[in-house]
């Protein structure tokens, strides 16, 4: 009997020593240890384009967050667009687009490019579900559809703002597209350069009459990372050719420096009562770069050329939706009437096409225009004229230099100012290092953002400044709104669309937006809020990005009916300092009891 009692005491002493040692060391009596992630409530598959290494790195960072709130990952597929398209906007049917496991998708990481006027028609409206449109999200909200209709019914910007904000609020709450960040471009220049609107420059290649350098200097040198290939404004596809061609060719309207709203350029006024019929009064003092007066016939000639498929203009497909050859009429020498085939909220974009001179191009067959422009650029630059602030002086194809000189007739137009610069040189540099070295040496004044310099590289240069410009782009996680958890919510513990919305909001809360921007992009970005980038006209500045918070994300999941282990049976038992005395007294009493038992046993013996 005595041996049994000793065994009991030894076992108790060992257990007590271990527990009490832990208690004294940490203040906690740990029974079990919590796991890092909760058990998965359900699993999803993630689809990502394998076209950008940097994007795929931060995608992996986001995917790592999902299990922390109970969303497991079944498959994470990185593939080309040929593998993505048949699962999304080109899904062959039957419809709706199913889950990834059934041949569709659950979540797709994707990026979008926009313009100053945000045009989401066909992407989020119910009528545009694939295959009728590009709404591969299969998102549907009657409130959004109504706001979009109202947005499109207004052909003046000031009347669209209210509806733009309504759409953003709805998308912000519903999260069919969980946006990640808005990229920013780094445009680097000599500190003496001024007059540039960086947003307009990156968006529409702003005419440069307001640009200037230090007082007494009349020329500017711009480094571009691509050689020059397009010499006709109606065929231009390269942004690097658009930059210099837009200094030569302008249209009836132009974006205003600063406000970025449309203002008359070759026009003196324009108006419409219904958004269909537009009347434009032209400036009678406007002249082409050779001094020839600009007339309404030049306008008609330009648009009819664009509308002729034999020309092959890059604007043809879009323009034919709203115009035909009878849509543009010269009412007199300086009055043009435009009649749209159907309403278009952004009709001013249609009125602002860059114009070409009829007296130069009419004798040339359409099939020769592209080659003729290149030949004139080399041998007779006087033929490549427009109404913009500059004319082409020469193209040095061996050195990759476009040389522009001031258009002496530009300032004769109403409402424009004399260009500050006499000469502008667009110069091809094959790599970033050479371009930045030329900037530091003073032989280049501006380095194009497409060189992708880093902030560290730029701040190390003397006498240099920069602009961080909001790009018209978004990066997002596109959600299949027919997914039984993410979209319809039919499999959630509390079934329904609201639960699915809570899950999407939860996912938005676990996107580490600030960390991604700082770690992967050196701060060259902005945490995203909605699919409408901040540079767009009508962007809502009152909304804030979803905060990164596992706790908030879990609260959203709980709202959908999901229960975490800590909600019912804590996986860790802790003893607070306030309970130490009572615990210690209990242990002493237990030891005392054991001692008494031992004494009693010895007496019986």
Q: Which tokens in the block code for residue 289?
A: 């770069």
10 pLDDT above the threshold of 50 = no
The yes or no reply on domain 42-182+472-566 and CATH 3.10.105 is yes
What secondary structure does DSSP assign to 304-326, as a single string? Answer: HHHT-TTT--TTHHHHTTT--TT
Q: pLDDT by residue (tens digit) across 85-125?
A: 999 999 999 999 999 999 999 999 999 999 999 999 999 99
- Residue 168 in this model has a pLDDT that exceeds 70: yes
Per-residue pLDDT at 275 exceeds 90: yes
The total of other beta-carbon atoms located within 10 Å of residue 490's CB is 14
Evaluate whether 514 touches 502 at the Cβ level (below 8 Å): no
**215: pLDDT confidence band, cut at 50, 70 and 90?**
confident
Please state the rounded mean pLDDT for residues 22-28: 36
Q: Using CA atoms in the order 348, 353, 355, 361, what is the torsion angle rounded to 10 degrees?
A: -140
What is the bridge-based pairing of β-strands 262-264 and 42-49? unpaired
Alpha helices in 380-482 (DSSP H): 432-441, 455-459
Domain ranges, ordered by start, for the chain: 2-31+579-604, 42-182+472-566, 192-271+280-318+348-428
**Residue 438 confidence (pLDDT) above 90:** yes
pLDDT value at residue 35: 54
Query: Residues 147-158: pLDDT tens digits?
Result: 999 999 999 899
Q: How confident is the model at residue 569 (pLDDT cuts 50, 70, 90)?
A: low
Euclidean distance between CA atoms 323 and 36, whole angstroms? 61
Q: What percent of the chain has pLDDT over 90?
A: 83
Banded model confidence at residue 359, pLDDT cuts 50, 70, 90: very high
Mean pLDDT of the chain: 89
pLDDT at 251: 97
Question: How far is residue 507 from each of residues 68, 71, 135, 600, 605, measured CA to CA in Å?
Answer: 10, 9, 21, 65, 70
Neighbouring C-alpha atoms within 13 Å toward the C-beta of 255: 25
Mean pLDDT on 446-462: 94
Bigger pLDDT: 143 vs 603:
143
Residue 15 has pLDDT above 50, yes or no: no
Bridge partner list, 330:
336
pLDDT-based confidence at residue 59 (cuts at 50, 70, 90)? very high
**Rounded to an integer, what distance in angstroms lies between the CA atom of residue 532 and that of residue 468?**
18
pLDDT band (50, 70, 90) for residue 54: confident
**Domain 192-271+280-318+348-428 in CATH: superfamily?**
Periplasmic binding protein-like II (3.40.190.10)
- Confidence check: pLDDT of 351 > 80: yes
Cα distance between residue 287 and residue 302, in whole Å: 16
How high is the pLDDT of residue 599?
38
pLDDT category of residue 241 using cuts at 50, 70 and 90 = very high
Looking at residue 598, what is its pLDDT? 36
């Amino acid at each position: 009997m005595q041996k049994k009692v000793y065994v009991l005491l030894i076992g108790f002493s060992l257990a007590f020593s271990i527990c009490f040692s832990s208690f004294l060391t940490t203040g906690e009596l740990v029974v079990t240890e919590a796991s890092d992630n909760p058990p998965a409530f359900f699993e999803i598959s993630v689809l990502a384009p394998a076209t950008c290494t940097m994007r795929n790195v931060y995608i992996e960072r986001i995917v790592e967050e999902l299990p922390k709130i109970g969303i497991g990952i079944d498959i994470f597929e990185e593939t080309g667009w040929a593998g993505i398209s048949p699962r999304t906007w080109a899904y062959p049917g039957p419809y709706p687009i199913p889950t990834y496991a059934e041949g569709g998708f659950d979540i797709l990481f994707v990026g979008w490019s926009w313009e100053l006027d945000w045009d989401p028609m066909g992407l989020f409206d119910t009528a545009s579900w694939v295959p009728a449109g590009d709404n591969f999200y299969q998102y549907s909200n009657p409130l959004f559809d109504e706001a979009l209709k109202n947005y499109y019914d207004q052909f003046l910007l000031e009347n669209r703002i209210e509806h733009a904000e309504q759409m953003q609020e709805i998308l912000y709450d519903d999260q069919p597209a969980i946006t990640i960040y808005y990229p920013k471009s780094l445009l680097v220049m000599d500190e003496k350069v001024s007059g540039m609107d960086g947003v307009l420059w990156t968006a529409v290649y702003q005419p440069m009459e307001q640009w200037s350098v230090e007082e007494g200097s009349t020329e500017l040198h711009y480094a571009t990372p691509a050689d020059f290939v397009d010499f006709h404004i109606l065929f231009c596809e390269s942004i690097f050719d658009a930059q210099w061609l837009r200094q030569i060719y302008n249209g009836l309207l132009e974006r205003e420096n600063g406000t970025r709203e449309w203002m008359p350029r070759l026009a003196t006024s324009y108006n419409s009562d219904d958004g269909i019929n537009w009347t434009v009064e032209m400036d009678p003092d406007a002249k082409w770069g050779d001094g020839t007066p600009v007339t309404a016939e030049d306008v008609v000639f330009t648009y009819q050329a664009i509308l002729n498929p034999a020309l092959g203009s890059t604007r043809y497909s879009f323009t034919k939706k709203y115009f035909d050859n009878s849509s543009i009429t010269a009412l007199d020498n300086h009055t043009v009437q435009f009649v749209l085939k159907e309403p278009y909220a952004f009709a001013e974009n249609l009125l602002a096409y860059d114009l070409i001179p009829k007296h130069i191009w009419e004798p040339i067959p359409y099939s020769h225009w592209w080659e003729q422009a290149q030949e004139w650029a080399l041998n007779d630059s006087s033929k490549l004229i427009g109404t913009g602030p500059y004319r082409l002086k020469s193209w040095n194809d061996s050195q990759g230099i476009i040389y522009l000189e001031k258009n002496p007739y530009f300032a004769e137009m109403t409402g424009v100012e004399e260009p500050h610069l006499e000469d502008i040189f667009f110069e091809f540099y094959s790599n970033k290092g050479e371009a930045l070295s030329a900037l530091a040496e003073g032989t280049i004044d501006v380095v194009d953002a497409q060189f992708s310099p880093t902030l560290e590289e730029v701040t190390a240069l003397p006498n240099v400044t920069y602009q961080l410009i909001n790009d018209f782009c978004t990066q997002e996680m596109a959600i299949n709104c027919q997914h039984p958890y993410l979209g319809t919510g039919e499999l959630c513990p509390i079934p329904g669309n609201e639960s699915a919305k809570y899950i999407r909001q939860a996912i938005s809360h676990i996107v580490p937006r600030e960390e991604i921007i700082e770690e992967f992009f050196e701060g060259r970005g902005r945490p995203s809020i909605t699919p409408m980038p901040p540079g767009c006209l009508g962007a809502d500045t009152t909304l804030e990005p979803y905060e990164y918070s596992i706790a908030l994300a879990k609260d959203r999941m709980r709202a959908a009916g999901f229960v975490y282990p800590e909600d019912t049976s804590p996986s860790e038992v802790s003893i607070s300092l306030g309970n130490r005395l009572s615990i210690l007294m209990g242990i002493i009493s237990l030891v005392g009891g054991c001692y008494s038992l031992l004494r009693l046993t010895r007496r019986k013996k």
